[in-house]
Amino acid sequence: MNKLYYRYGAMNSGKTTLLLQVAHNYEERGMKVLILKPGIDTKGDNKIVTRIGLEREVDYLIHPDEDLSIYLKSISNDISCVLVDESQFLSKEQIDELYKFTKLKDISVICYGLRSDFKTNAFPGSKRLFEIADVMEEMYTTCRCGKRAKFNARIVNGEFTSSGEQVAIDGENEVKYESLCGKCYLEKVLKITNYDYNKENNSIKDRLIAYKEELEKNNKESSSTLKKYRKSILVKIRNELSENLHKNDYTRKLK
């Protein structure tokens, strides 16, 4: 039984170059491959383009929200492998169709894509691939400091940014990307250079005590007006707690 593969990594880890190498290896042995990519990736139009200058026209552009099963059902049985570039841009449903295709047609599908976006959040396609792919292989590149890079930092007009839409194509509208390790991502993008865990934990502890005190007071109140007022305070404290706890955990995870 053939498998669904996901080869992922930060930008500049050689994903598209490897895809072209795999296609060459199959074709050198007289086997046929199909190369697909999402139409949302406008870089190169109907071609896949590598950073070292290699390019190749794709066999099919996958449009957003397209029912991919219609195209996959039209593929003949003489195909040996399907290669998908920038697969993080696919929808959950399209990834599911690729999975069903490799099992029901018994043809391997190899997807290449990013691990996460410039905010370190998973794309819909990459999230689903992590959930159902038979084989996952991480590809590596190097950060500016020499360490292994895992994060994609967005640069707009020469400045690192952590705001904006999830999808912005590299090289368009003054947008560029740089692969960074966790430490450099914190420093360059989030501007975090020093973190006092004890201070943060004490702050959270104080807010937790205040939250419990307000909760007890609210339970004793009989006036609906006072209860409504105290509820707004509780919500505010709860939100602050949630935000600080998330930041603490998030920063530890990145480091």
Rounded average pLDDT over 141-157: 91
Highest mean pLDDT among 114-118, 162-166, 228-232: 114-118
What is the predicted pLDDT for the residue at 49?
A: 82
Which tens digit of pLDDT belongs to each residue from 101-117? 999 999 999 999 999 99
pLDDT, tens digit, for every residue of 82-105?
999 999 999 999 999 999 999 999
Percent share of the chain, pLDDT over 70: 76
Q: Which residues of 137-173 are buried (b: 16+ CB within 10 A; e: fewer)?
A: eebebebeeeeebbbbbbbeeeebeeeeeeebeeeee
**Has residue 244 got a pLDDT over 80?**
no
Mean pLDDT calculated for residue range 52-64: 89
Q: What is the mean pLDDT of the segment spanning 118-142?
A: 93
pLDDT at residue 250 in the model: 47
**Is residue 236 pLDDT above 80, yes or no?**
no
Cβ atoms of residues 121 and 88 within 8 Å: no
CATH code matching the domain that covers 4-140, chosen among 3.40.50.300, 2.60.40.420, 1.10.1580.10, 3.40.50.970: 3.40.50.300
Q: Is 86 a catalytic residue?
A: yes
Sketch the domain layout of the chain as residue ranges: 4-140, 197-254
Question: Do residues 98 and 84 lie in contact, with contact meaning Cβ atoms separated by under 8 Å?
Answer: yes
| CA distances in angstroms from 53 to 16, 40, 90, listed in the order given | 11, 21, 25
* Alpha carbons 213 and 181: distance in angstroms, whole number: 42
* pLDDT for res 5: 97
What is the model's pLDDT at position 138? 93
Please give the Cα distance from 3 to 25 (Å, whole number).
18
Q: pLDDT digits over 9-39, tens only?
A: 998 888 999 999 999 999 999 999 999 999 8
Query: Cβ contacts of residue 233 below 8 Å, gap of 6+?
Result: 214
**pLDDT at position 152 over 80:** yes
Q: What are phi and psi of 199, to 5 degrees?
A: -65, -45
Query: What's the whole-number average pLDDT of the chain?
Result: 83
This prediction's pTM: 0.73
Catalytic-labelled residue, pool 86, 138, 159, 213:
86
